[in-house]
Amino acid sequence: LLCLWTHLNLMENQNNVTEFVFMGLWENRQLELLFLVLFLLCYLAVLMGNFIILLTITCSHLIEQPMYYFLCHLSLMDLCYTSTVVPRLIRDLGTARKNISYNNCMTQLFTAHLLAAVEIFILVSMAVDRYVAIVKPLHYMVIMNRRGCNVLIFVAWGVGFWHSVALLLMVLSLPFCGPNQIDHYICDVKPLLKLVCKDIHVVSILVIANSGMVVVVIFLVLVASYTVILYNLRTHSSVGRRKALSTCSSHIMVVVLFFVPCIYTYVLPAGSENKDKEISVFYTVIAPMLNPLIYTLRNMEMKIAMGKVWSKMVHSEFKSIG
């Protein structure tokens, strides 16, 4: 990390650009003030919803089950990822000049891609958990023990780290000579490529391979795994089938909500004119806000555990007052 930071400083000295200016989502000032309030409410909903998920799982017996163990990590990633992007977006919506230093821009790029990549592989881990539970139920306790779950989380962080490092080093090697206006509300690799003062065809292919194609492949693997899971549900009882369908449908909704906008954003080349910044709102704000609702409203175990945790907290509060 020290070497990366040193390299970052060296690259800053080689570039004419020392800061970037976001163009934001909209050029209409009144519209920006309206969405400032909307995104603030969305961010509060993300914080509250995911904090409730974390509190419910960690303070109940659900933490012992692999599915909820992964869900706990997913909520933590949603909290961290939105906190990397949304607070600055809210601040920029309230100011006339939306500037960010070169170093802070590179830091946001690295952090956002790290957390997003970890979240993607946590979703893969959740699919693995459901696959083993439904397709190989007799081996479930052996395969999905706590050590196996920890290995999957460790792999998610490892893969996410190397993906982000590769992307960061690639961007750091590029010359930015001006202009410095980013047509986006975050420092992402595609809008940054539009500011590079050299041919970016090779770099664009590398970005698509590093992000776009990887996301597509993982999405297709997830779709295939859930297809196999749904096919194998034929042999289960009606009660077990309903329970499994409820859980899997929640997972599928979250996967589609996160992956489809990501595929749209990262598969198309950097020079193409598309709605990247508008579509990216889905995986930076909307998906983290809806995930807690999807996993609680459609899950009876979560509802019961939530009721027990809250009643326990209220009881202990009255006991301390008395």
Q: Per-residue pLDDT for 14 more than 60?
A: no
Quick one: 199 exposed, middle or buried, by C-beta within 10 A (0-12, 13-18, 19+)? Answer: exposed
What Å distances lie between residue 51 and 80, 99, 226, 245, CA to CA?
11, 31, 28, 26
Distance CA 252, CA 241 (A): 16
Higher pLDDT, 298 or 46: 46
The pairing of beta strand 99-101 with beta strand 19-22: antiparallel
Q: Per-residue pLDDT tens for 133-176?
A: 888 888 888 889 999 999 999 999 999 999 999 999 989 888 88
Q: Which residues of 278-309 are buried (b: 16+ CB within 10 A; e: fewer)?
A: ebbbbbbbebbbbbbebbbeebebbeebbeeb
Q: Per-residue pLDDT tens for 87-117?
A: 999 998 888 788 899 999 999 999 999 999 9
Q: Tell me 61's DSSP state.
A: G
The pLDDT of residue 87 is 93
The pLDDT of residue 13 is 46
- Express as a percent the part of the chain with pLDDT over 90: 35
Q: Determine the average pLDDT of the residues in 121-126.
A: 93
The pLDDT of residue 96 is 78
The pLDDT of residue 321 is 62
The pLDDT of residue 180 is 85
Q: Per-residue pLDDT for 12 more than 60?
A: no
Q: Per-residue pLDDT tens for 48-87?
A: 999 999 999 998 888 999 999 999 999 999 999 999 999 9
The residue type at 168: L
pLDDT-derived band at 2, boundaries 50, 70, 90: very low
The pLDDT of residue 84 is 94
User: What residue spans of the chain are helical by DSSP H?
Assistant: 2-14, 29-58, 66-93, 102-135, 140-143, 146-172, 189-193, 201-207, 213-232, 238-267, 276-281, 287-297, 300-321
Residue 242: Cβ within 10 Å count: 12
The residue type at 295: Y
Domains and their CATH numbers in the chain: 18-306 (1.20.1070.10)
The pLDDT of residue 313 is 75
Distance CA 216, CA 213 (A): 5
The pLDDT of residue 6 is 47
